[in-house]
Amino acid sequence: MDFLFLGGKQLTSNNKKIFQAIEESFKDQKVSTNSKIGRVITEQKGSYLVRAEEEEVIAKISGKLRYETMAREDLPAVGDWVFFKEDGGIIESVLPRTSKFSRKKAGLEAEEQIIASNIDYVFILTSLNDDLNVNRIERYLLLCWESGATPIVVLTKADLCLNVEKKKAEVENMLMGVKVFCISTVERDGIDELEPYLGEGKTIALVGSSGVGKSTFINHLLGSDMQKTNDVRDSDAKGKHTTTYRQLFYLENGCAVIDTPGMREIQLWQGEDGLSTQFEDIEELALGCRFTDCEHYSEPGCKVQEAIREEIVTESRLENYRKLQREVAYMERKGDKRLQSLERKKWKKRAQSRKVKQE
């Protein structure tokens, strides 16, 4: 497996201190005495590029870790801190995550796909063109609220939009208090406003559709063309995939930024808490409905429908809430079945292990 060494720049002295502090905090979790701390920079086909304090190492997970793994989310993900043996490049353990941005993996099975872990902020990038879709942003927000990280909406390509402030106001009104910024990497406009979130020791994940400018934004932050970029198609304002796998970069100031491939599908993994956060206005109105099982259609005494008539809430917002509510409920049902399946696998492994010992 050939890796492009992605960490790029030398870590700053303060960032080295972060590595050392994390290693000291988790030293009791070392599997072997010669283990050292590292951070997963990228992963391709079961091989991991791990950034240590001074270098980058290609590594594989240990047989013990693979055996103890019950689900894909137990394996290392980009952004994870791990203990690994430099000799042979063996990852022995994954340290507890402070946050993780996940979605449902593509396919029929209810399986979690971790996009990025140990992140402080999620930058949701969407371009100010015909592809601007507030409902899509809301789906990203549900995943963000569940992740433990703070969402920031970044409207890109402001230089191509004639009514930037109007578009920004429309998005802000729909997203209820989420920070929204407009930037143009071509004109270097608006990016300074994001600097408070790009501090040393922070980790940012960039998410969004293809062609919204994630790779261009990364290149601007790095001060070099580390990421390949493509033009957006004029026919439908859609982008082309340039980033094909998740990658972590360290900026000169010590901030870590994770670039991710454009997402064609934003399938929810969890979302009950995120739903309550994102649609707090609707759920608060629902508490005042005459009937506790009100579905907010034509029931008498419905406070939600009353708010729609008074133009406090839009019908489209309510409909999007219903749609996401159904999807979250569906994923919860599938998740329950998955947990039962994992529990069966766990006991089967234990039974097999006891049988081997007895023999």
- The more confidently predicted of residues 312 and 177 is 312
% of the chain surpassing 90 pLDDT: 33
d(CA 298, CA 319): 14
* Statement: residue 62 has pLDDT above 70: yes
Residues 108 and 230 placed together within one structural domain of the fold: yes
Q: Is 220 annotated as a binding residue?
A: no
CA 243, 247, 248, 249 dihedral sign is negative
Domain boundary among the residues 94, 110, 127 is at 94
Helix (H, G, I), strand (E, B) or coil at 42: strand
* Statement: residue 319 has pLDDT above 50: yes
Q: Is 301 annotated as a binding residue?
A: no
Burial of 163 (0-12, 13-18, 19+ CB in 10 A): exposed
Token pair listed for 190: 């608006």
* 5 assigned to some structural domain: no
* 267 assigned to some structural domain: no
Question: Residue 252: what pLDDT?
Answer: 82
Task: Identify the band that residue 347 occupies on the pLDDT scale cut at 50, 70 and 90.
Answer: very low
Q: Is 211 annotated as a binding residue?
A: yes
Q: Is 80 annotated as a binding residue?
A: no
* Statement: residue 111 has pLDDT above 80: no
Domain boundary among the residues 204, 228, 259 is at 259
The enclosing domain of 282 has a CATH number of 1.10.40.50
Residues 288 and 255 placed together within one structural domain of the fold: no
Chain centre distance of CA 240: 20
Residues 85 and 18 placed together within one structural domain of the fold: yes
Please give the span between the terminal C-alpha atoms of the chain, in angstroms, as a whole number.
Answer: 39
Q: Is 215 annotated as a binding residue?
A: yes
pLDDT in tens, 193-208: 999 999 888 999 999 8
Residues 112 and 248 placed together within one structural domain of the fold: yes
- The more confidently predicted of residues 254 and 300 is 300
Residues 83 and 188 placed together within one structural domain of the fold: no
In single-letter form, the type of residue at position 254 comes to G
Q: Is 110 annotated as a binding residue?
A: no
Question: Average pLDDT, whole number, for the chain?
Answer: 80
Q: Is 157 annotated as a binding residue?
A: yes
* 240 assigned to some structural domain: yes
Strand partners, 42: 49, 247
Spatial CA neighbour of 194 closest among 218, 175, 227, 224: 218
Q: Is 296 annotated as a binding residue?
A: yes
Q: Is 208 annotated as a binding residue?
A: yes
* 247 assigned to some structural domain: yes
Question: Residue 80: what pLDDT?
Answer: 96
Residues 123 and 188 placed together within one structural domain of the fold: yes
Residues 125 and 90 placed together within one structural domain of the fold: no
- The more confidently predicted of residues 138 and 180 is 180
What's the pTM? 0.77
* 1 assigned to some structural domain: no
Q: Is 50 left (phi over 0), alpha (psi -120 to 50) or beta?
A: beta
Q: Is 161 annotated as a binding residue?
A: no
Residues 252 and 293 placed together within one structural domain of the fold: no
Mean pLDDT of 331-358: 54
The enclosing domain of 131 has a CATH number of 3.40.50.300
pLDDT in tens, 219-265: 999 886 665 555 554 444 454 545 568 899 988 888 999 999 876 65
Q: Is 244 annotated as a binding residue?
A: no
* 254 assigned to some structural domain: yes
Please name the helix (run of DSSP H) or strand (run of DSSP E) that holds residue 114, with its range, or none.
Answer: strand 112-117
Residue tagged 């990852």 (tokens) = 91
Task: Identify the band that residue 11 occupies on the pLDDT scale cut at 50, 70 and 90.
Answer: low
Q: Is 158 annotated as a binding residue?
A: yes
pLDDT in tens, 69-94: 877 788 999 999 999 988 888 999 99
Residues 141 and 210 placed together within one structural domain of the fold: yes
Q: Is 98 annotated as a binding residue?
A: no
C-alpha dihedral over 326, 327, 333, 335, to 10 degrees? -160
Strand partners, 256: 203, 250
Question: Residue 236: what pLDDT?
Answer: 45
Task: Identify the band that residue 138 occupies on the pLDDT scale cut at 50, 70 and 90.
Answer: confident
d(CA 47, CA 181): 36
d(CA 37, CA 93): 10
Question: Residue 225: what pLDDT?
Answer: 65
Domain count, the chain: 3
Residues 73 and 149 placed together within one structural domain of the fold: no
d(CA 281, CA 135): 16
Chain centre distance of CA 276: 19
Residues 193 and 145 placed together within one structural domain of the fold: yes
* 7 assigned to some structural domain: no
* 160 assigned to some structural domain: yes
Helix (H, G, I), strand (E, B) or coil at 315: helix
Per-position b or e across 68-102, b if 16+ CB within 10 A of its CB: eeeeebebbbbbbbbbbbeeebbbbbbbebebbbb
Domain boundary among the residues 94, 113, 137 is at 94
Q: β-strand 81-85 against 90-94: which pairing, if any?
A: antiparallel
Q: Is 298 annotated as a binding residue?
A: no
- The more confidently predicted of residues 286 and 233 is 286
d(CA 218, CA 205): 11
Residues 79 and 152 placed together within one structural domain of the fold: no
117 is in which domain, residue-wise?
Answer: 100-259
Q: Is 255 annotated as a binding residue?
A: no
38 within 8 A of 84, measured Cβ to Cβ: yes
The enclosing domain of 66 has a CATH number of 2.40.50.140
